[in-house]
Amino acid sequence: MTSALTTTPATGRRSRLRGLDGLRFLAAAVVVGYHYTGIDTGYWDQPPSTVFPTLNNVTRYGFLGVELFFVISGFVILMTAWGRSLPGFVASRVARLYPAYWVAVLVTVGLQVVWTGGRQLGWFDDLTNLTMAQEGFGIASVQGAFWTLWVELKFYLLAALLLLVGFTPRRIVAFAVLWPLVGEVFRLAQWSFLEDLFIVEYAPYFGVGMLLFLIHREGGTALRWAAMVVTGLLCVEQTVRHAPIGTRVVGVEISPVVCAVVVVAMIASVWLVADGPLRHVDWRWLSVVGALTYPLYLVHGQFGFAVIDTLHGHLSPYAVLAVAVALALTLAVALHYLVERRWHDRLRDGVLRLLRG
């Protein structure tokens, strides 16, 4: 969920991977489609497979957009941390995540004062949500999609520890491969605390992203591509194992084969825009929509659900869907231009001064 900037080793200049910006927005759009038409939230009063019989055949797999986010995050967070001090890395992450998130929490709490169909939490739970660590305390998030932010925070902690040790290509390869492999040991041993702490379920996706960035920055070697194969296979294994769970959650069949193909395509798509034939894509509009990714992810849930809950039965399903998407995009634009662009640099500089004393 970070801007797709990369450093060219030969020149030291930073250039934008606009294709990666586009992939970030695609991942967000897929998640929005999943929440509105893929999974049965109850707001349509019928299963979405009945309301959108054709569309649902695709959007039921939209949960995999989160996995694409994690692959991109592995790439971008390593890119962000490379060459930075630990205070600089922490300040950049705080400034990137929190301003829009704080406003999203507050406006969601305000929505749930007037709309009783959403999550009704107590004041203490609402305040705890401002930390972004509520899931770690066993407290529900004000929006369901916020669970991924806790996963991201734990990945940032691991990345910060690696930064303290020092980035080298061999250390990154070792970390990206051993992290998910050791995680599999934790899973098989049923050490649930360590499974959760080391985000075992999603470790291979972050690892693949890190390796893709390493290959992008330093070039591919036999060792790095072998590591890619190992972590990629672990990604496929994870998603195939998750397919039956997805079937129970969505209420319609989730094909393990389709999941595996989509995951391979996701990994390939990141390589395509970073180092493959699409690396020269430089359409400015991709960066414009990419900037809306994070705010769209933050606000689409409860606000879209409120639209669906209020308007279904009064308009055609596709008209209701259009209104929900339009509202989510409008709020995302407002959040980006009125909050992120105004407060990012101020908060980053303030945190940096605090950490440096």
Which tokens is 191 given? 């050490």
pLDDT for the residue 12: 39
Residue recorded with tokens 């991924």: 148
| pLDDT tens digit sequence for 104-126 | 999 999 999 999 888 888 899 99
Which has the closest alpha carbon to 75: 177, 153, 176? 176
- Please, are residues 141 and 129 in contact by the beta-carbon 8 Å criterion? yes
Strands 14-16 and 5-7: antiparallel
Dist. CA 12–CA 182, nearest whole Å: 35
Distance of CA 245 to the CA centre of its chain: 20
| pLDDT tens digit sequence for 260-271 | 999 999 999 999
Which tokens is 120 given? 């009704």
- Please, are residues 301 and 145 in contact by the beta-carbon 8 Å criterion? yes
pLDDT for the residue 2: 57
Q: What is the sign of the dihedral through the CA atoms of 172, 179, 93 and 97? A: positive
Span 192-220, average pLDDT: 94
Burial class of 166 by CB neighbour count within 10 A (0 to 12, 13 to 18, 19+): exposed
Residue 8 has pLDDT above 50, yes or no: no
Dist. CA 79–CA 155, nearest whole Å: 14
Q: Which helix (H) or strand (E) holds 216?
A: helix 203-218
Dist. CA 54–CA 50, nearest whole Å: 9
Task: Reduce the DSSP state of residue 5 to 3 states and report it.
Answer: strand
| pLDDT tens digit sequence for 127-157 | 999 999 999 999 999 999 999 999 999 999 9
Q: What is the sign of the dihedral through the CA atoms of 175, 178, 184 and 190? A: negative
| pLDDT tens digit sequence for 21-54 | 999 999 999 999 999 999 999 999 999 999 999 9
Q: Is this structure's pTM higher than 0.75?
A: yes
